[in-house]
Chains A and B, each alone.
Chain A
Amino acid sequence: MRSLLCTMLFLAAPALIAEPVLAETIFVSNEKDNQIAVVDGDSLQITNKIKVGRRPRGITLSGDGTQLYVCAGDDNRVDVVDIASGKVVHSLPSGPDPELFVLSPDGNRLYVANEDDNMVTIIDIPSRKAVGNIQVGVEPEGMGISPDGKILVNTSETTNMAHFIDTEKRAVVGNVLVDSRPRVARFSDDGKHVWVSSEIGGTVSVIDAATRKVVKKIRFEVTGVRREAIQAVGIQMTRDGKRAFVALGPANRIAEIDTESFEVKRYFLVGQRVWNLAFSPDEKRLYTTNGISNDLSVIDLERNKVIKSIAVGGAPWGVVVKP
């Protein structure tokens, strides 16, 4: 019996070392604290807080997964964090007040929305230089890029449009009107659709990427929540393209949407003013940033339950998960 147990342990041990069950790390940008909270996906405990520039919001992983790019809006730069050492190693010239950005699929370019200047700045990461900018509508915000990297979609909050930008020509090639204060733009993995959330409009517009027409407008209704409190912001889609999740801001809910019927299947009650969200690598969990309750909600997508909320710091805004 004892030897059997030993054998089992012996067999199990290497597997644990090579492939821990939940070895992911979650990084949360805390807008008020000027810090990135680092949360261990296994213990769901905070393991570190990394000091970055002022008002960190947009956050993304580098192409090779060893660095974080963080928009430090009040310092007019993008900070580059080395994940291993937990330190800012250098900064990239983002142009004024960067809020959100998107990384090109090859990992070499960052496209940054400059809220103050009606502009998108293109940063060449290897040379750490701004190599161009593109004029867009008033208050650029959301940034999405097609899987082939050829089309960039930027939303402008006061112009209320999704601007389709040819990344080679660096020119706007199409504009799609959406509801008030568009926030996030996200391409489906097959590149066929672009989902754009509208904060004040409280809707998500699904745009056909080829025809650039809105093919579906998704509306939300939560019992007991007034319509004005439903403000759509963050969007994530599963890799199989079947499910989408939308953060509904002060409604304190995440909506799960069937991407075939565009019907809302369920709402998850999370923390207050939820703006952004990220999957675990196995897509069994969803992490959401709740800016008013200062926490991160963890949703178990197998049991469809919110299993934990973790106090992460002042006004959590963006979230990214490293496998």
Chain B
Amino acid sequence: MRFWPLSRRRTDLSNAVKRRRLIAALPLAGLLIAAPAAAALAQDAGGQAVLIGYLTRQEDPRTPASFLEPVATDEGLQGARLALADNNSTGMFLNQSFRLVEQVLPPDGDIAAGLKALADEGVRFVVADLPGDALLAIADRPEARSMLLFNARAPDDALRNEQCRANILHTAASRRMLADALAQYLAWKKWSGWSLLIGRDPGDALYADAVRRAAKRFGGRIVAEKSWTFDTGNRRTDTGVTTIQSDIPLATQGPDYDVLVVADEAGNFGDYLDGRTWHPRPVAGTQGLIATAWSRVNEQWGGTQLQSRFEKLADRWMLPRDYAAWLAVRSVGEAATRTGATGFDDLVAYLRSPEFELAGFKGEALSFRKWDGQMRQPILIAGPRMLVSVSPQEGFLHPVTPLDTLGDDAPESKCRFNR
């Protein structure tokens, strides 16, 4: 088994990737310069560092269709690094320190062995930047029984329901939370007729399920459903526009609707839709007007500071996966700050208690739902260039908190934590 810690990884990669790695490593150097006071102080105090593992696999970088978007090779990880720096800046005043143990496995790396390596180092908090199946596989490993995993990536609703695990907290928003957030906004707009266009990836079908459920909950009417069957191919083709221009009207032809809801999580085609649809109607969902946990367009509620700290560190803007990892690492830090403790059991007890609340730059405190471990949070409704709104929308009431109108509320949850 080979693991790829940052220092060793470079020798195994192609030249092109090597260059990217070097660039990605530079911001880390900046972080080391910025944070030594914190680290030194905490170590001088003799405090035991709280270890937080970060477990992921190398992947081909996600290539957004738009040339304006950054191509990220370190999605997620940079969010964890920023939160670590934030934790240590605070820890400096409390003689607490935090260390991130990064396990970035090769594309075909053995996740279970990666988890074991973290366990061998004494890590008990693990930020899992993994798809749902890989997350479940490690959650059921013997080492994971004495660990707390943060799901900082997988949006699968099943992980919050039938497949939930007591040792997982979810900082990534679920598909249902995203779909409900969008549905509330569309309801507020009275755009109730939806045409659903679904991509070919398995996640797209699940996103469409969440959209159908949200339509029932918030008064949407799905007037048509279509599958996307065209091949958009690479974003850099000299004559690409011509084909797309004729494909999209065909793909979106049908009964009239108020809004075209697209399910294309990987961004294979969704960005091509706006301005080319059969009906002159807006696009929403995974592209166009999107529901997302985080977006560069948000600078409200002190978001300016988070965005600018992140960009200094990562040389690109913060993506939702970075934000979910940031929330996970900050949650551990916040629990340590509030309890004054650094022991695993104390911190976990606090994270799960009603006292826990995290400020996440979205105007209200975030906390974990006790029935499924999901972090409740406002969801941004964002256009490609501007923040449009934030859900929950005014008027969607809830006896405890309006945040629980998004996703699975206690009475409807199928999670029993008994596996």
Interface residues of A (CB under 8 A from B): 97, 115-116, 118, 135, 137-139, 156-161, 163, 172, 175, 177, 180-181, 200-201, 226-228
Contacts and interface: CB of A to CB of B under 8 A. Distances in A.
Q: Which 7 pairs, one residue from A and one from B, show the smallest C-beta to C-beta distance?
A: A159-B90, A175-B93, A228-B364, A180-B359, A200-B359, A181-B359, A138-B89
A138 B357 contact: no
A158 B93 contact: no
Interface string B84-100: 00100110011000000
B305 to A, nearest CB: 5
B365 A138 contact: no
A160 B337 CA distance: 9
B308 A159 contact: no
Contact of B302 (A137, A161, A181): A181
Interface size class of B (residues with CB under 8 A): 20 to 34
Contacts of B403: 228
A228 B366 CA distance: 10
B357 A157 contact: no
A135 B338 CA distance: 22
B402 interface: yes
A120 to B, nearest CB: 14
B239 interface: no
B190 interface: no
B93 A116 contact: no
Interface of B is mostly: helix
A163 B401 contact: no
B309 interface: yes
B305 A115 contact: yes
B86 A158 contact: yes
Nearest to A163: B93
A116 B308 contact: yes
B335 to A, nearest CB: 12
Contacts of A160: 90, 334, 337, 359
Contacts of B364: 200, 228
A139 B402 CA distance: 28
Contact of B90 (A97, A137, A172, A200): A137
B302 A159 contact: no
A228 B90 contact: no
B206 to A, nearest CB: 30
B275 to A, nearest CB: 30
B154 to A, nearest CB: 27
Interface in B272-321: 302, 304-305, 308-309
A159 B365 contact: no
17 contacts: A116-B309, A137-B93, A138-B90, A157-B302, A157-B305, A158-B90, A159-B90, A159-B337, A160-B359, A161-B93, A172-B93, A177-B94, A180-B358, A181-B302, A200-B357, A226-B401, A227-B401
B158 interface: no
Given A139-B305, A228-B364, A118 B89 contact: yes
B26 interface: no
Given A137-B89, A200-B364, 9 more contacts: A97-B304, A116-B305, A137-B93, A158-B90, A159-B86, A163-B93, A175-B93, A177-B94, A200-B359
A67 to B, nearest CB: 28
A200 B365 contact: yes
A227 to B, nearest CB: 8
A181 B360 CA distance: 10
